[in-house]
């Protein structure tokens, strides 16, 4: 689905593609820094201690989430500057791309990159021979990974919109809500392999974020109804 989003909405406009790739780049850099911190922490600690390792992992995950949000903020700053530049350059005084579109594209960029990193090795291994969960792990590993990745991609997209909107209108509580949601989703994934605990709330959160982003983008229940009715 994320790819579908990409093809239908982003691939037409070159500027959006650039913003997408730049968004992916920013996510990548944040991942790099967070893994650097984790790596240092692991090297500096006792490799035998299981609990410590788990604790460090959790710490790494949280830190990574915070770093991602920090980079999203940096990216927002960069895009603001870029929009001013574009407005100055354009002929009719208005920017060729609005900040909301940018928010959407940035969110998709983040999401695609994070999803790709989460899934792609899995997919490559899935092409080869093997049985899922042979060592007593859950047999639904691939399925749940796929669903989790998808929900994460969508969530990144919505968070992008919410985040940028919050920054635009100086509503810091929105920004804080995004960060808290991100932390929650990551934290929920700690419940794995108890999949009920992680997938279901994540989807609920995604639905909530979707509705919120939709309302923020100017949609409403009437629009939705009209859209659906026109189609049928």
Partner 1 sequence: MITFMSNSDSEEEPCNERTSLMSAESPPVPSYQDGLQASEAGEAQAHRKRRAGSSRGPNNITGGETSGSGVPVRESALENDEEELTLKYGAKHVIMLFVPVTLCMIVVVATIKSVRFYTEKNGQLIYTPFSEDTPSVGQRLLNSVLNTIVMISVIIVMTVFLVLLYKYRCYKFIHGWLILSSLMLLFLFTYIYLGEVLKTYNVAMDYPTLFIVIWNFGAVGMICIHWKGPLQLQQAYLIMISALMALVFIKYLPEWSAWVILGAISIYDLMAVLCPKGPLRMLVETAQERNEPIFPALIYSSAMMWTVGMAKPDTAARGPSQQTWDAAEHGREHLRSPSHAESQMSETRSPVPTRPITSLEELEEEERGVKLGLGDFIFYSVLVGKAAATASGDWNTTLACFVAILIGLCLTLLLLAVFKKALPALPISITFGLIFYFSTDNLVRPFMDTLASHQLYI
Q: Which residues bind partner 1 (CB under 8 A)?
A: 12-15, 17-18, 21-22, 24-25, 28, 31-32, 34-36, 38-39, 42, 57, 60-61, 64-65, 68, 85, 89-92, 96-97, 113-114, 116-118, 120-122, 124, 141, 144-145, 148-149, 152, 185-186, 189-190, 192-193
Nearest approach in angstroms of CB 25 to partner 1 is 5
CB-wise, 117 or 214, nearer to partner 1? Answer: 117
Residue 133 region, left (φ>0) first, then alpha (ψ -120 to 50), else beta? Answer: left
CB-wise, 15 or 177, nearer to partner 1? Answer: 15
Nearest approach in angstroms of CB 225 to partner 1 is 26
CB-wise, 109 or 166, nearer to partner 1? Answer: 109
Determine the Cα–Cα distance for residues 164 and 99; give it in Å rounded to an integer: 8
Nearest approach in angstroms of CB 216 to partner 1 is 23
Q: Could you tell me the CA-to-CA distances from 130 to 41, 103, 133, 134 in Å, in that order?
A: 34, 41, 9, 9
Asked if the peptide bond before residue 131 counts as cis, ω within 30 degrees of 0, the response is: no
Nearest approach in angstroms of CB 133 to partner 1 is 12
For 67-79, give one letter per residue: b (16+ CB within 10 A) or e: bbbebbeebbeeb
CB-wise, 44 or 124, nearer to partner 1? Answer: 124
Question: Using an 8 Å Cβ cutoff, are 165 and 114 in contact?
Answer: no
């Amino acid at each position: 689905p994320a790819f579908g989003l990409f093809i239908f909405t982003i691939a037409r406009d070159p500027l959006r593609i650039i913003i997408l790739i730049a968004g992916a780049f920013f996510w990548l850099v944040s991942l790099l820094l967070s893994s650097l911190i984790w790596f240092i922490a692991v090297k500096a600690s006792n490799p035998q201690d299981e609990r410590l390792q788990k604790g460090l992992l959790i710490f790494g995950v949280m830190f990574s989430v915070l770093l991602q949000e920090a980079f999203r903020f940096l990216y927002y700053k960069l895009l603001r500057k870029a929009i001013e530049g574009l407005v100055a350059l354009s002929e009719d005084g208005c920017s060729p791309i609005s900040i909301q579109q940018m928010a959407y594209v940035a969110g998709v960029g983040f999401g695609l990159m994070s999803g790709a990193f989460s899934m792609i090795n899995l997919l490559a291994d899935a092409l080869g021979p093997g049985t899922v969960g042979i060592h007593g792990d859950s047999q639904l590993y691939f399925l749940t990974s796929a669903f989790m990745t998808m929900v994460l991609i969508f969530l990144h997209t919505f968070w992008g919109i919410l985040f940028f909107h919050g920054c635009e209108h100086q509503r810091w509580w929105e920004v804080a809500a995004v960060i808290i949601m991100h932390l929650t989703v990551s934290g929920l994934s700690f419940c794995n392999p108890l999949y009920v605990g992680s997938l279901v709330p994540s989807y609920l959160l995604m639905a909530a974020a979707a509705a919120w982003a939709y309302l923020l983008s100017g949609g409403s229940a009437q629009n939705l109804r009209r859209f659906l009715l026109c189609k049928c």
